[in-house]
Amino acid sequence: MISPVKMRLELKKGINNTYLIDDTYNHDLAGLTRALDFMNQQNQLTKKTVILSDFIRSKNSSQFYSALNDLLIKKGVDKLVAIGPELFTNKAQFSVSTEFFDDVEALLGSKTLRQFKNELILIKGAPDFTLEKVSKSLVEKGHKTILEINLDAIIHNLNFYKSLLKPETQVMVVVKALAYGAGSTEISKLLEYHKVDYLSVAYVDEGILLRQDGIKAPIMVMNASQDEPFNLMRYDLEPEIYSLEQLKSFLSAYQLANKVLPAHLILNTGMNRLGFNESDLDSLIDTIANNPQIHIKSIFTHLAASDDQTQEGFTREQVALFRNGADKIDVALSYKPIRHILNSGGIVRHNEFQEDMVRLGIGLHGIEVSALSADKLKNPATLKTIVSQIRTVKAGETIGYARKGKAEKEMTVATIAVGYADGYLRYFSNGNAYVMINGQKAKTIGSICMDMTMVDITGLEVHAGDEVVVFGTNPTVSQLAEWGNTIPYEILTNINNRVKRVFYSE
């Protein structure tokens, strides 16, 4: 079984488009306040319901219950589902819409439970009330492999990067590719709550999803192809502009709609991916100067080797070329666009180039892009699965496809519920990686299958159903990347959508 970590708030997807926040610890008003704040910070859905059991240790006073009612109203709760005799006895104190049940069994058997939909539900009660039965019956069932994201660690990492910057430097957080696999809406909600200045995504569709989930922060789209300007306008997304052709095609669409084009100009200074070359600048400036319907929100460039000490000279050349180009554009404008250069590696190694804003990506996810930030970051992501079956394999038998795994002597093998379709790369086959089961290392044996992997547990204390840590603090994403001959970015963004994301705050 996946064992619960003590004292934490968990956000999970529930049935009928609900989100569940599970909290069966600290059952007092302070704990409830914290849980309601967490609910408002996530704010996934506008309708908010609280399922609450009696407060065992509370003084049974009407004052207490009227304070409880005030708190629920203040935090925007739409409905209270109250369980237990004490809450019922004090029903006169509640003005918030309330439904009462004698006990958990009564709620479980009711039609109320089956009718929850499109709402954010906080489940909070004393452990004795077995409210986890309610949570179990509401949670979306599925694949036993989950990616747990520690939201406190994300904020810790954000604050570490901010500590390297001047207080006035703005922060754009790059949440492309599902926020590096962590879950774009939930991470964006968290970042918005912590007041980051900008978000950025790779493609228009990613931006649309964030808007549909209620994200209000400004969003830059890095690779808006030329045919989607109306989606940009409709969802208030701001395109990165990388060529004159793209600029002109967007401009005509915005002119047609009588709207100002909010443009983020990217200058190519050596990355040779997207952007204006130095030789393009004159015609770019010409176009901007002649079209007041273009508003330059920012000018930026992307470093090719920000985290590499041996490329420091090249990085400096990129910065000089950028500043030169940006100065030229500035001259043609009556206002001053935001300038930005640095990604995570750049912030750590070159904060002298922080300009007006930075673009933070992988660092938020605790990946040490530079030895300089080692030990300063916290790991937010843990990929967990379970042991499906255990068997004894006799000496001379083989394990898995193509008979790649060989039992030299009798061994015990566990099959775990994660495979390359989940993002556990086939590269990790035949002992190239280990997982942790009950604090013990178990190496892979044979080839990784699409949905399953066999690991060697000879001599270890393991049972079917036990929790398996695929990555987290040990092994780390960076270790897996090394074993898989790749980079941490690829390990994180390979985690398939069928792996349920569970968010928590401690």
Which chain residues interact with ligand PLP by CB under 6 A?
174, 222, 302, 343-345, 359-363
Q: Which of 219, 208, 241, 224 is nearest to 173 (CA)?
A: 219
Shortest separation between residue 494's beta carbon and ligand PLP, angstroms: 15
- Which CB atom, from 2 or from 487, has the smaller least distance to ligand PLP? 487
Shortest separation between residue 383's beta carbon and ligand PLP, angstroms: 19
The yes-or-no answer on residue 198 being catalytic is no
Shortest separation between residue 344's beta carbon and ligand PLP, angstroms: 3
- Which CB atom, from 239 or from 345, has the smaller least distance to ligand PLP? 345
Distance of alpha carbon 278 from alpha carbon 506, whole angstroms: 49
Distance of alpha carbon 338 from alpha carbon 330, whole angstroms: 10
Shortest separation between residue 69's beta carbon and ligand PLP, angstroms: 46
- Which CB atom, from 29 or from 305, has the smaller least distance to ligand PLP? 305
Distance of alpha carbon 34 from alpha carbon 12, whole angstroms: 17
Q: Give Cα separations from 476 to 19, 382, 471, 492 (angstroms).
A: 29, 9, 5, 11
Burial class (CB within 10 angstroms; exposed 0-12, middle 13-18, buried 19+) of 426: middle
Shortest separation between residue 279's beta carbon and ligand PLP, angstroms: 21
- DSSP letter assigned to residue 322: H
Residue type, 351: N
- Which CB atom, from 361 or from 423, has the smaller least distance to ligand PLP? 361
- Which CB atom, from 14 or from 380, has the smaller least distance to ligand PLP? 380
CB atoms within 10 A of CB 90: 19
Shortest separation between residue 221's beta carbon and ligand PLP, angstroms: 11
| Region for residue 177 given its phi and psi (left: phi exceeds 0; alpha: psi -120 to 50; beta: otherwise) | left
Q: Which of 12, 48, 124, 176 is catalytic?
A: 176
* Radius of gyration, CA atoms only, the chain: 26
Distance of alpha carbon 92 from alpha carbon 279, whole angstroms: 75
Give the CB-nearest residue to ligand PLP: 361
Shortest separation between residue 429's beta carbon and ligand PLP, angstroms: 28
Q: Which of 21, 60, 27, 61 is nearest to 41 (CA)?
A: 21
The yes-or-no answer on residue 504 being catalytic is no
Q: Which of 357, 356, 330, 326 is nearest to 343 (CA)?
A: 357
- DSSP letter assigned to residue 364: G
Q: Give Cα separations from 338 to 15, 283, 285, 357 (angstroms).
A: 43, 21, 17, 7
Shortest separation between residue 113's beta carbon and ligand PLP, angstroms: 42
Shortest separation between residue 471's beta carbon and ligand PLP, angstroms: 18
Q: Which of 257, 217, 261, 258 is nearest to 239 (CA)?
A: 261
- Which CB atom, from 222 or from 294, has the smaller least distance to ligand PLP? 222
CA–chain centroid gap for 123, Å, is 22
Residue type, 435: V
Beta-strand runs (E) in 350-472: 357-360, 381-393, 398-399, 405-406, 411-416, 434-437, 440-443, 453-456, 467-471
- Which CB atom, from 126 or from 204, has the smaller least distance to ligand PLP? 204
Shortest separation between residue 359's beta carbon and ligand PLP, angstroms: 4
- Which CB atom, from 104 or from 201, has the smaller least distance to ligand PLP? 201
Q: Give Cα separations from 4 to 8, 132, 137, 196, 506 (angstroms).
A: 9, 11, 17, 31, 12
- Which CB atom, from 388 or from 478, has the smaller least distance to ligand PLP? 478
Residue type, 210: L
413, β-bridge pairs: 391, 456
Structure tokens, 148? 């747990």
- Which CB atom, from 100 or from 203, has the smaller least distance to ligand PLP? 203
Residue 488: is the preceding peptide bond cis (ω within 30°)?
no
Residues acting as catalytic residues: 176, 401
